[in-house]
């Protein structure tokens, strides 16, 4: 009969955890109490002294008590960085290593949370800026629309239309769109802006209030003669000289130039 060989019960099986003595446990607890980053986050269970295993929770485990690690939520919650599941260690040195690993995982989570907070704040500020820009644009559009509907806006529109005709030839009796006489130009430009004027310069002068020459405003009309025979659009004063836009005479073209002598002003602003 063959001789039986007994196998030890523990061969091939995990070695049992041996309880640290009280003095070692107290030494670990004392060293951890000074570990600033984990104060208030990790507490060694009092069961260490009694030889109980310390279970370090996984990063996604549900909260157990006030002794577990807590991260403040941000405006937009950061994704939790999964920390490694830490196994109970058989030696005090390994336990300290496990705790340091957990600390690093917590720091990663905190950085993620801070990044999410900053991103949320940046998004909030961008939304506020976009809203203000939209409001400013809407206000500007409303003001532009109101100006265009005003008499001043209409006059500026008439000047713009008349300026677009610079270079078009003077043709007696022409009213546009590619050639003009003097009153044909003023009628064409102001009609495009919503201000109706009579056809000829004499009737245009009669239709507008006369104002002193030194009170003339941009867009008012300048007339010559009695009876009136010519009309132009006042633009500005330049070195004490009135500058007008008009269709001068046969053989010339629509242009800007210094006003001829002997003019008087008719107000389109008071029309």
User: Which are the catalytic amino acids?
Assistant: 182, 230, 246
Q: Which residues pair with 232 in a beta bridge?
A: 222
Residues 234 and 252: their CA atoms lie apart, in Å, by 19
Taking the CB of residue 156, how many other CB atoms lie within 10 A of it?
16
Residue indicated by tokens 């053989």: 251
User: Could you give the CA distance from residue 59 to residue 86 in angstroms, rounded to a whole number?
Assistant: 10
Q: Which residue has the tokens 């008439």?
A: 158
In whole angstroms, give the CA distance from residue 230 to residue 144.
Answer: 33
Instruction: Give me 143's structure tokens.
Output: 């003001």
Beta bridge partner(s), residue 244: 234, 257
What is the three-class DSSP state of 263?
strand
Q: Mapping DSSP to helix (H, G, I), strand (E, B) and coil, where does residue 207 land?
A: helix
- Beta-strand (E) ranges in 63-216? 210-211
């Amino acid at each position: 009969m063959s001789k039986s060989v007994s196998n030890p019960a523990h061969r091939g099986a995990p070695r049992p955890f041996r309880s640290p003595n009280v003095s070692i446990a107290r030494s670990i607890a004392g060293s951890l109490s000074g570990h600033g980053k984990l104060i208030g986050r990790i507490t060694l269970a009092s069961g260490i002294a009694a030889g109980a295993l310390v279970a370090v929770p996984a990063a996604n485990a549900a909260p157990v008590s006030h002794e577990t690690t807590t991260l403040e939520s941000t405006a937009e919650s950061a994704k939790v960085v999964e920390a490694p599941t830490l196994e109970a260690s058989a030696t005090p040195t390994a336990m300290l290593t496990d705790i340091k690993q957990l600390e690093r995982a917590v720091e990663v989570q905190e950085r993620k949370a801070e990044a999410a907070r900053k991103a949320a704040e940046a998004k909030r500020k961008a939304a506020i800026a976009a809203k203000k820009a939209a409001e400013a644009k809407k206000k500007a559009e409303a003001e532009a629309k109101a100006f265009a509907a005003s008499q001043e806006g209409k006059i500026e529109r008439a000047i713009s239309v008349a300026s677009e005709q610079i270079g078009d030839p003077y043709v007696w009796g022409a009213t546009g769109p590619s050639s003009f006489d003097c009153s044909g130009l003023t009628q064409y430009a102001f009609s495009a802006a919503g201000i109706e004027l009579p056809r000829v310069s004499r009737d245009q002068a009669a239709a507008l209030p006369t104002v002193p020459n030194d009170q003339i405003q941009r867009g008012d009309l300048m007339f010559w003669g009695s009876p009136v025979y010519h009309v132009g659009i006042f633009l500005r004063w330049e070195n004490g000289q009135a500058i007008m836009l008009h269709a001068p005479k046969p053989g010339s073209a629509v242009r800007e130039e210094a006003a001829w002598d002997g003019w008087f002003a008719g107000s389109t602003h008071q029309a």
